[in-house]
Structure 1
Amino acid sequence: MEYLTRLLQLGAQQKEFRYHPLCKGLKIINLCFVDDLVIFCKANIGSVQVVKQVFEDFCNSTSLKANINKSQVFFGGVSAAVKDQLLQILQLEEGTFPLKYMGIPMRPTKWKMIDCGDILKKIKLRLHTWASKHLSYAGRTQLITSVLLGLRNYWMNIFLLPQRIVKEVDKLCLWFLWGNNGTRSNFHLTPWSTVCLPKRFGGFGEGTKWNKAMLAKYIWAISHQPETLWVKWVNTVYLKGQSLWQYQLKAYTSWYWRKICHMRDVFSQRDIDVAVSHGRFKVGLLYMRCIHQDPIKYHPLVWNRISVPKHRFITWQAVNGKLLTRDHLHRVFKQLNYLLCPIEDMRRDLIAALVAAVFSATVYYIWYNRNTCFVNHFSHRVNCIVDMIKKDISYRSRCFIQKKLTGKWWVFVRKLSFE
């Protein structure tokens, strides 16, 4: 590709060649993405003939040949007569928008609702293949955060999704989490508005403001990454030496650039600057500033790394008073704040993590035994429940023996694991 790029640059020096109007400032003639090649030029006969001659020279020198079946030409602002002449020269098929790249539809005009249909299709396809009836709540939350919201965030990283699409994705995740049987869904134990909050605010996901926080990284890049090709292009075509925060939108600007500029109405310059850590923009830091409520104090206890995932989920439900037990288990923990305070004050070390894991396991097995009493009319003995708690904590602690533990911590974990 480097050889082809040099040939194109030499070809661009010919008097017959003209750059694309939006690429003339930086003299951009081609871009390479993984195994794809995009070439830009003015839509006239001279420029197209130069490009074709360069490809012929490249093929003769390397014995490589372009795949005509996978190559297309796209036009903008060209009359039908000129278009027919250029297609005759190139012998390529004319492409149509939207153009899909890396699974994302792209078009020069504003995004349409139909373009967002792919994200819903992909999510529904995965939900159709997952046997949700055989998954625990903890397993469902893992699939939601890592797969479903991962798909959504992949698109949010590029575009500002319409609110209708975001709400539809949230509804699909909600149905999957709490269960949905055709036209009837199960009782929603915790509202989605709480579920989609970050862990420190009582949930385990990201809400709709995450989309805007992700797009704000482009604002930061314009000010702090001047050597990036996209930033150079923006400065050449739009800003022209101005600061982004003083820039006034023009009538001819593209719809995508308008969306980015509108982020200035959502985030201030200080918000963008505060979201930087070690010279890198952190979307999570900016997103936290969008949530105007106090963080909860128990999140380190609930979402503890050593606790079993299903224990974490049940504990999360318990501290929010959302467990569906006949005798209301959350009343057992009405003094929960007194239990949380000592743990909150402890340093975030291994002992604190183990204490939190024991607490979550205790909540889980009390809830488990209460349900067993109601459904099977049978109750486990206290020593049996204690043994189950010890067994789970022992298995979980073994995962940390291989870590770089020294001194008393290594002895403590090893003793706990093999007792």
Structure 2
Amino acid sequence: MEILSKFLAEKSTHPDFKFHWRCDKTKIMNLCFTDDLMIFCKGDVFTVSVIKEGLDEFQSLSGLSPSPHKSHIFFSGCEKNLRVELLNVIKFNEGVLPVRYLGVPLILTKLKSSDCDKLVERITNRIKSWTNKCLTYAGRAQLIQSILFSMQVYWFSLFILPKKVVKSIESLFRSFFWSSCELRKYGAKVSWEHVCSLKSEGGLGFKSIEVWNKAAVAKHIWFLFFGGEQSMWCQWVKSYLLKGQSLWRVKMPSDPSWVWRKILSLRPVIYPLILHKIGNGGDVFLWFDNWHPLGSLWGRFGARVVYDTAFGMDAKVSRIVNNRSWSWPRRRRSFLQELIEHTPLTFTPNSGNDTVIWVSSSDGKSLSAVVTRLAFACTVYQLWIVRNNFIFRKEKIPEEIVIKGIGDMIRFRVMSITNLKLHPSDSWYMDKMELLTVSDNNQSQYMDLKFFEWSENLNCVLSDVSCSYWNNRDTVCGCRIVRGSPNQWKHGLIHYAAVKWGITKIRKHGNKLLAAGSADGVKKCVPRIRLFMVLVAAVGLL
């Protein structure tokens, strides 16, 4: 096939040769897989004649010739007279779509459930072919994971299948697991959703077909950023579909293919998982790619940012990179001030080229997830303390002190957590929380020093407000520095607003709270504070 490809490539250099209108930029003429050959060209008599000459020369050299009965020519947008002329030249039969190639359908419209009947039929026949009906649940589970699931891997890596097909396959798996080869649709002991959970969560570890299908197709998006330089499909997509634009900016065409439509629909899910590390900035789009701690600058500031900076929609990060430092535009708009403020001092370009990394899921164990949960719990706890001080001690704690107490409480509790994954942009979050990554040898000395400094500063600030309250609280835990994944500081605004609202309500209804002195009175006067107390008590934080 390599010799044949060279023959055809030589014929395509003729000045009158015309490529297919979707292959002209990439100069794609043929695709080969084992003994199958697909040739693309414009519906032109001279072009088809040149291809015929190339096939004849290859036949004279190797003795191999295409079989006229197994070979077909497919037309698109050609008149009937032109079709007759081309058939007389190539001597092949006329083919009609849809057809199957390598086991999957080649179609012009969207993928329908009827196009996937062959896949469902294969799985059904494989299940019924197993004559052993005495398998245990463990045996059937092993067959599902090793054999049945692998039968649809190839399809799922190419298309996002219709939901009807996904439900049909899951129904077959579920029926086989609970009723063996009888395939009864009743008698399930546990819902299939729980069965597909992780073993650590009480499930059997089956993969969710719908989720796995999206993950397999998302691999194509990853190849557009990394590892797809030698892929003909990636080159073709960049030439004809992206056209020099960012994947995150491209709009949905009016008549896209089924595969491209589904790939674009996965962008909101995939975007946070693809992170760019800036080198020279020449390969990263300034406004759309995920390279800054704020995420997409276009999504953050809107179209105004392009007009104010005069950089253009397709500007690259190299416009603001200058010798491993940032060179921001001179126009001092409000958004530029926010952008500079949210750019950590340690967040600088690296030497060399840009790199892209895949941010793996943390399953709620990253620093960002931990801090989010702590922020809510600490806010509830501090509001509960403010309420008790006002009712029983008649003390009014200022909002600034409460907010600072929440931040310090989160920071001290985070210090007691270990074994968190290091995120590429973790330095920004560590700076915000005044945490540093140190070696294990110097860890205890460093933490003893920082613990002493934070405690002294905290006591000095709060001594004039309520020494008894701050000295009795149990917010200092552990002496371990952590490394983890940062989250955008958006949740901080939410908790700040919650503190302001809670204290305002306490002051407004102070007399009623003091008069009631019970949970019922709190529930009537400040419903949300009561709800917070119930949630905290439920998780055992009090």
Normalized against structure 1, the TM-score is what?
Answer: 0.63
Q: Counterpart of 1:116?
A: 116
Distance 1:24 1:270, change over 3 A: same
Q: Counterpart of 2:224?
A: 222
Q: Is the 8 A contact 1:98 1:106 kept in 2?
A: yes
Tell me, yes or no, if structure 1 residue 35 matches structure 2 residue 35: yes
Q: Counterpart of 1:152?
A: 152
Q: Counterpart of 2:298?
A: none
Q: Is the 8 A contact 1:98 1:107 kept in 2?
A: yes
Q: Counterpart of 2:252?
A: 249
1:139 positional shift: 1.2
Q: Is the 8 A contact 1:73 1:95 kept in 2?
A: yes
Q: Could you tell me how far apart the structure 1 residues matched to 2:180 and 2:141 are? A: 15
1:181 positional shift: 7.7
Q: Counterpart of 2:104?
A: 104
Distance 1:18 1:125, change over 3 A: same
Q: Counterpart of 1:231?
A: 234
Tell me, yes or no, if structure 1 residue 173 matches structure 2 residue 187: no
1:178 positional shift: 0.8
Give CA deviations for 1:162-211 in whole Å, capped at 9, x if unaligned: 11111111111111111068685563122111112333442321112111
Q: Secondary structure at the match of 2:239?
A: helix
Q: Could you tell me how far apart the structure 1 residues matched to 2:60 and 2:155 are? A: 41
Q: Could you tell me how far apart the structure 2 residues matched to 1:69 and 1:281 are? A: 49
* Residue identity in the other structure for 1:227: Q
1:78 positional shift: 1.7
Distance 1:112 1:139, change over 3 A: same
Q: Could you tell me how far apart the structure 2 residues matched to 1:41 and 1:90 are? A: 13
Q: Is the 8 A contact 1:213 1:287 kept in 2?
A: no
2:273 to 271, 276, 287: 271
Give matches, 1:8-27, under 5 Å. Answer: 8-27=8-27
Q: Counterpart of 1:204?
A: 205
Give CA deviations for 1:54-101 in whole Å, capped at 9, x if unaligned: 111111122222222221111222222212221121111122222212
1:286 positional shift: 6.0
Q: Is the 8 A contact 1:272 1:286 kept in 2?
A: no
Normalized against structure 2, the TM-score is what?
Answer: 0.49
Distance 1:173 1:107, change over 3 A: same
Q: Which segments of 5 or more consecutive residues in structure 2 lack a partner in the other structure?
A: 277-354, 370-542
Distance 1:35 1:189, change over 3 A: same
Q: Is the 8 A contact 1:220 1:281 kept in 2?
A: no
* Residue identity in the other structure for 2:205: F
Distance 1:181 1:155, change over 3 A: closer
Q: Could you tell me how far apart the structure 1 residues matched to 2:30 and 2:184 are? A: 53
1:281 positional shift: 8.7
Tell me, yes or no, if structure 1 residue 240 matches structure 2 residue 259: no
* Residue identity in the other structure for 2:138: A
Distance 1:273 1:128, change over 3 A: farther
Give matches, 1:33-72, under 5 Å. Answer: 33-72=33-72
Q: Is the 8 A contact 2:252 2:261 kept in 1?
A: yes
1:119 positional shift: 0.9
* Residue identity in the other structure for 1:204: G
Q: Could you tell me how far apart the structure 1 residues matched to 2:132 and 2:96 are? A: 39
1:273 positional shift: 4.5
Tell me, yes or no, if structure 1 residue 213 matches structure 2 residue 215: yes
Q: Counterpart of 1:406?
A: none
Q: Secondary structure at the match of 2:105?
A: strand
Distance 1:288 1:69, change over 3 A: farther
1:219 positional shift: 0.9
Q: Counterpart of 1:372?
A: none
Distance 1:113 1:74, change over 3 A: same
Q: Counterpart of 2:265?
A: 262
Distance 1:35 1:282, change over 3 A: farther
Distance 1:9 1:177, change over 3 A: same
Q: Is the 8 A contact 1:209 1:287 kept in 2?
A: no
Q: Percent identity?
A: 35
Q: Is the 8 A contact 2:11 2:50 kept in 1?
A: yes
Question: Which structure shows the bigger proportion of residues in helix conformation?
Answer: 1
Q: Which segments of 5 or more consecutive residues in structure 1 lack a partner in the other structure?
A: 295-419
Q: Secondary structure at the match of 2:245?
A: coil
Give CA deviations for 1:275-326 in whole Å, capped at 9, x if unaligned: xxxx99989x56979xxxx9xxxxxxxxxxxxxxxxxxxxxxxxxxxxxxxx
Give CA deviations for 1:214-263 in whole Å, capped at 9, x if unaligned: 11111111111233211111010011111111222232433321211111
* Residue identity in the other structure for 1:235: K
* Residue identity in the other structure for 1:153: V
Distance 1:286 1:237, change over 3 A: farther
* Residue identity in the other structure for 1:212: K
Q: Is the 8 A contact 1:213 1:286 kept in 2?
A: no
Q: Could you tell me how far apart the structure 2 residues matched to 1:269 and 1:21 are? A: 31
Distance 1:164 1:181, change over 3 A: same
Corresponding residue pairs, total: 284
Larger Rg, first or second structure (1 or 2): 2
1:144 positional shift: 0.7
